[in-house]
Amino acid sequence: MTILLTEITRSIDEIDQGLKGLLTISEKMEQTMDALVVNRVPSVWANLAYPSRRGLEGWIINLLQRVDQLNLFKDDPLNLPKVIMISRFFNPQSYLTAIKQVVASTANQKGGAAVVELNKLYIQTDVTKKAIE
């Protein structure tokens, strides 16, 4: 995420300087500007990001939501939310693996009779209907 945000900031600053006449506009800058004009995610950004078929506006909104979610985790890592938008993660599998590692570590530190093996843990998802009540 940091690499993506750094590239977005860098390329926007570069384009701004090019339009002000401080830099010569390169082909890469032109491609980025062309993508922005037609509401597409520039390929330079898309190559660093998560898979998405959204237009630029929807992609930026989704990116900001992902950043907000990561900031919530970063600011208070011990207070996990009840609902996690796992589809907003760059690598959801690493998050699920981390959950299993924490469960195994916590269970083994408590000194239970049986050792909890990480490779025998699994994630179960139950899909339920939303009910308006």
Inside any domain, residue 21: yes
Residues 8 and 69 in one domain: yes
Q: Is residue 109 part of a domain?
A: yes
| Residue 23 sits in the same domain as residue 62 | yes
Cα angle vertex 50, ends 46, 54, to 5°?
70
Instruction: For residues 12-31, give the mean pLDDT.
Output: 95
Q: Are residues 110 and 83 in the same domain?
A: no
Q: Mean pLDDT, the chain, as a whole number?
A: 86
| Most confident option among 10-14, 80-84, 111-115, 126-130 | 10-14
pLDDT given for residue 132 in this prediction: 65
Any domain includes 64: yes
Number of domains in the chain: 2
Tell me: do 13 and 49 sit in the same domain: yes
Residues 44 and 76 in one domain: yes
Residues 100 and 52 in one domain: no
Are residues 66 and 31 part of one domain?
Answer: yes
Per-residue pLDDT band at 119 (split at 50, 70, 90):
confident
pLDDT computed for residue 95 by the predictor: 81
In the structure, what pLDDT confidence band is assigned to residue 114 with cuts at 50, 70 and 90?
low
Alpha carbon 132 to chain centroid, angstroms: 30
**What separation in angstroms does the CA of 87 have from each of 36, 107, 123, 125?**
25, 28, 16, 14
Residue 90 clears pLDDT 80, i.e. is over it:
no
- Is pTM beyond 0.85 here? no
Domain carrying residue 104: 91-126
Residues 33 and 72 grouped into a single domain = yes
- CA distances to 16, 50, 63 from 4, in Å: 18, 10, 10
pLDDT, greater one: 114 or 25: 25
Q: Mean per-residue pLDDT for 22-29?
A: 95
